[in-house]
């Protein structure tokens, strides 16, 4: 089973317009709402592929209720920690005239110490125990930068393999716990190592540096160019198939 943690989930609202004109009234042609957050999206994909999963994280407010309803409709299991604040609502604008997307993200609600303690308690004693715990996405206000480090350590004590997909200080602190796998993109890996990864040779070098920090598997994603992934024994260059981009979210 693959469990996921989404500390800053969202209700993603995607509106489509024929042509986006700045400083003008624009009318959308369609609108949809989806459960959002990197960890939640992992659980949705695992469920779609008929795997076992459960989603953990913070949920509150009217949009939080809608998010849970949408997951129930999709059949995705969850065990969320209820918070007093409202989860964030992100807006994605799809402009058909140039096939572009503009995303406007909210920072998220402030999490109290008691709410954080409640979620941490769940992760400290996971039942049923998953094979993998995926910790992904940004962290809301009120949560310390080393939260992923602490949750990874708690999972490892239970014999659970961990995957970390985050950035900034959350990634920097999180890798100190030596997760099983990390998946930064080129920019995030560059920030983590304090350098720009301008070509494939630099990416390969970065992968080796991150492996040397005690991480078992390192994957650096390159968008439409695929990714480079490696462990201590081998390194692979994965080329992504060329497809028509419908959404970058």
Structural domain spans, the chain: 2-182
Statement: residue 249 has pLDDT above 70:
no
- Residue 214 has a CB neighbour count (10 Å cut-off) of 11
What predicted TM-score, i.e. pTM, was given to this entire model? Answer: 0.93
Question: How far, in Å, CA of 180 to CA of 108, rounded?
Answer: 28
List Cα–Cα distances, 158 to 88, 125, 127, 133, 225, in angstroms: 31, 8, 10, 11, 36
Statement: residue 242 has pLDDT above 90:
no
Where does 2-182 sit in CATH, by number?
3.40.1190.20
pLDDT tens sequence across 149-169? 999 999 999 999 999 999 999
Statement: residue 55 has pLDDT above 70:
yes
As a whole number, mean pLDDT of residues 221-225 equals 91
Question: How far, in Å, CA of 244 to CA of 233, rounded?
Answer: 34
Would residue 168 be called left, alpha or beta, if left means φ above 0 and alpha means ψ between -120 and 50 degrees? left
């Amino acid at each position: 089973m693959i469990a996921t943690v989404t500390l800053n989930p969202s209700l993603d609202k995607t509106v489509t317009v024929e042509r986006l004109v700045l400083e003008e009234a624009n009318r959308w042609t369609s609108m949809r709402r989806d459960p959002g957050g990197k960890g939640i999206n992992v659980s949705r994909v695992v469920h779609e592929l008929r795997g076992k999963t459960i989603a953990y994280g913070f949920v509150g407010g009217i949009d939080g209720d809608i998010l849970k309803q949408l997951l129930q409709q999709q059949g995705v299991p969850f065990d969320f920690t209820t918070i007093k604040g409202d989860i964030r609502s992100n807006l994605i604008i799809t402009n058909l005239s140039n096939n572009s997307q503009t995303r406007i993200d909210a920072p998220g609600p402030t999490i109290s110490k008691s709410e954080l303690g409640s979620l941490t308690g769940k992760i400290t004693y996971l039942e049923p125990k998953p094979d993998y715990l995926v910790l992904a996405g940004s962290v809301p206000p009120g949560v310390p930068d080393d939260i992923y480090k602490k949750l990874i350590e708690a999972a490892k004590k239970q014999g659970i393999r961990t995957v970390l997909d985050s950035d900034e200080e959350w990634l920097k602190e999180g890798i100190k716990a030596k997760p099983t796998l990390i998946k930064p993109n080129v920019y995030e890996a560059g920030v983590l190592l304090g350098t720009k990864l301008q070509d494939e040779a630099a990416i390969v070098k970065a992968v080796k540096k991150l492996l040397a920090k005690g991480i078992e598997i390192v994957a650096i994603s390159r968008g439409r160019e695929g990714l480079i992934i490696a462990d201590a024994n081998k390194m692979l260059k994965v080329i992504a198939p060329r497809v028509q981009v419908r959404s970058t979210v």
